[in-house]
Amino acid sequence: TSAIDGMTRQPEIAQQLFTAMLIGMALIEALCIYTLVVTLVIDVTALFLARKDLIAAADGAALAGAEALDEEQIYTDGVSAGPLPLDPAAAEEAARDYLAQVGAGEQVPGLAVEVRATTTSVTVRLTGIVELPFVSDVTPGAAGGVPVTASATASTQVVSG
pLDDT in tens, 86-95: 889 999 999 9
The pLDDT assigned to 141 comes to: 61
Mean pLDDT, range 100-113, rounded to an integer:
86
122 and 66 Cβ atoms separated by less than 8 Å: yes
> pLDDT tens digit string along 124-139?
999 998 888 877 666 6
Q: Taking a C-beta distance cutoff of 8 angstroms, is the pair 57, 102 a contact? A: yes
Q: Are 149 and 79 in contact (CB under 8 A)?
A: no
For the chain, give the number of residues.
161
Answer whether residue 161 shows pLDDT above 60: no
Check residue 113 and give its pLDDT: 94
Q: Give me the chain's average pLDDT, please.
A: 85
pLDDT at 158 exceeding the cut of 80: no
Residue 42 makes CB contacts below 8 A (sequence gap 6+) with 133, 134
**151 class by beta-carbon count within 10 Å (0-12 exposed, 13-18 middle, 19+ buried):** middle
Taking 80 as the threshold, does the pLDDT of residue 143 lie above it?
Answer: no
Could you tell me the pTM of the whole model? 0.75
